[in-house]
């Protein structure tokens, strides 16, 4: 798959869903300022993907936050299964620990088939963490703590996202055209 196409789809998702729907109220400024690094991995197997993760952790840890504040590591084909990708998240946390970056960088994940543990598969609220391709989001822990501490109720973001997506509905989500290329068949 062409990396430019994957990056463009990822940017569209960030712009239209993450920022456009205000799913992450902290994303707009860093994105507009060009401090979001998007890397498309061409790894053909898990070990190579973890090597890409190694490099991106080092890059983010060493970068000036005024230039690179956060990284999206995207792989379009290696992890089609959401449950398998959840296992990759566990491995990613181990890699963070191996780099002595626990408490410095945290990893979040997005997937075309993301489903919250307590949610129904067809619940449109799952789209708050759905991306066009499997994606690891590397965030600076200090930024997360600063953002969360500025909120009286950090869980309000989660609740607002659910409300926004329920109001939008599946037809509205599909109209955004930010899901996986084969997303048309979802509820």
- Domain residue limits, the chain: 3-185
What rounded mean pLDDT belongs to the chain?
A: 94
107 forms beta bridges with: 138
Q: How far apart, in whole angstroms, are the C-alpha atoms of residue 125 and residue 115?
A: 9
In this predicted model, what pLDDT tens digit does every residue of 31-46 receive, in sequence order? 999 999 999 999 999 9
β-strands 70-74, 36-40 pairing = parallel
Give the neighbor-by-neighbor strand order of the sheet with 105-110.
Answer: 36-40, 70-74, 135-140, 105-110
Q: Which two tokens stand for residue 140?
A: 């600076």
How many alpha carbons fall within 13 Å on the CB side of residue 157? Answer: 16
- Nearest CA to 86 out of 54, 114, 121 is that of 114
Exposure pattern of 135-153 as b/e (b: 16+ CB <10 Å)? Answer: bbbbbbeebbeeeeeeeee
Q: How far apart, in whole angstroms, are the C-alpha atoms of residue 129 and residue 119?
A: 12
pLDDT of residue 151: 79
In this predicted model, what pLDDT tens digit does every residue of 84-141 receive, in sequence order? 999 999 999 999 999 999 999 999 999 999 999 988 989 999 999 999 999 999 999 9
pLDDT of residue 37: 99
């Amino acid at each position: 798959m062409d990396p430019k196409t994957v990056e463009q789809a990822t940017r569209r998702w960030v712009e239209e869903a993450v920022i456009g729907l205000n799913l992450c109220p902290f994303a707009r400024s860093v994105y507009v300022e060009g401090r979001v690094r998007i890397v498309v991995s061409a790894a053909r197997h898990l070990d190579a993907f973890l090597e890409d993760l190694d490099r991106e952790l080092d890059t983010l840890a060493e970068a000036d936050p005024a230039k690179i504040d956060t990284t999206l590591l995207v792989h379009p084909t290696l992890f089609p299964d959401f449950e398998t990708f959840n296992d990759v998240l566990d491995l990613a946390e181990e890699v963070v620990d191996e780099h002595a970056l626990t408490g410095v960088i945290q990893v979040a994940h997005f997937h075309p088939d993301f489903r919250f543990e307590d949610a129904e598969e067809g619940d449109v609220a799952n789209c708050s963490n759905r991306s066009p391709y499997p994606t690891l989001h590397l965030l600076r822990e200090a930024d997360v703590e600063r953002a969360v501490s500025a909120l009286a109720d950090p869980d309000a973001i989660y609740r607002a996202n659910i409300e926004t997506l329920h109001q939008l509905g599946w037809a509205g989500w599909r109209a955004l055209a930010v899901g996986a290329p084969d997303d048309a068949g979802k509820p």
